Amino acid sequence: MKTADVQAMPVPPNLVKSLLGGFDIISNHITLIAFSVSLDLFLWLGPRLSLEQLISDIFTQALAMPEAQTPEMSSLLQNSQAMWQITIWQVTSLMETIGLWVLLVIVGFLMGTLYFTLVSQAVLQGKVDLPLAIRQWPAFARNVILLAIFWLILFLGVGLPLVCMLSFMLISGINIGQLAILIYAVLVVWVFFPLAFSPHGIFTFQSGTWAAVVQSLQMTRATLPTTGLFLLAALVLILGLNSVWRLPEETSWLTIVGVLGHGFITSGILAASFVYYRDTQRFLREKAQASENNLA
């Protein structure tokens, strides 16, 4: 094969260009921050659920036992009641608590799916098509929920044995302290890091749950350093700026600025992740094609 016939390898995606591209897309479709802003405003100004009545009933039943009728227990009950003065909606039963939790999780998945769909449209198509997003909503939501169930099973499969082992070591008197927490955190990151872009396959290629997981594994394995730096940069930006948004008091009007800033940053990071995923998948396809052409 002649040197002139060798096809040049494509250039891998640029971290800075991906981040800037994501923020540019959100700037051009600023209404996309409405999802994040609405959620923050609801958490700030909306009603709050209270477990005061349920906890009080539990403490009352406990205090009814003769061995529990002590001044210390009475003081504990009073302190627990004082903690819940700012709440509004009372949850009075365990079944009601579970039902509300399930409802909030389902609503969160549904709204999050629509949010991801619209952001992916802005990145991949250059426009937001709400009617199309609504038509795609059920299929995307099904795959997202299946992906969440897969993550949960994986987390329990990895976490429970390790927690049992650490508990046994603690019971045995082995002092491992913060080392155990570090080992657990490293293991969780090691397992879930390759799966970070699983949702992107669902919205970018309309892949099924398992296909999206495989695509994420292949991508992170082929671009480990760059992908790791991208996720680290995104995490630093979100956590670092979150500390800035939380500086004003909750009663200050400056909190509105923090809510808007948080909405723009989180939406920009999400859009940047889709830009990075799109460019990386294109890079991997072009790299594979160039390798095949050079071998031919």
Q: What is the mean pLDDT of residues 1-13?
A: 62
* 91 close to 53: Cβ distance less than 8 angstroms: yes
- The partner residues of 49 in beta bridges, in order of sequence, read 89
pLDDT at 10: 74
* 49 close to 38: Cβ distance less than 8 angstroms: no
Q: What is the mean pLDDT of residues 217-243?
A: 92
Q: What is the mean pLDDT of residues 21-30?
A: 95
Q: 189-198: per-residue pLDDT in tens?
A: 888 899 999 9
Position of tokens 């099904």?
142
pLDDT at 84: 43
Identify which has the larger pLDDT, 82 or 268: 268
pTM of the model: 0.81
Identify which has the larger pLDDT, 82 or 180: 180
Q: What is the mean pLDDT of the chain?
A: 82
Q: 253-286: per-residue pLDDT in tens?
A: 788 888 999 999 999 999 999 999 999 999 999 8
Q: 136-174: per-residue pLDDT in tens?
A: 999 999 999 999 999 999 888 877 777 777 777 667 665
User: Buried b / exposed e across 191-223, counting CB within 10 Å, b at 16+?
Assistant: eeebbbbbbbbbbbeebbbeebbebbeebbeeb
Residue 114: count of CB within 10 angstroms of its CB: 18
pLDDT at 163: 72
Tell me the CA distances in angstroms from 193 to 26, 187, 229, 262, one per residue in order.
Answer: 26, 10, 12, 24
**What does the block give as tokens for 256?**
């509105």
Note the Cα 117 to chain centre separation in Å.
Answer: 15
Residue 95 clears pLDDT 90, i.e. is over it: no
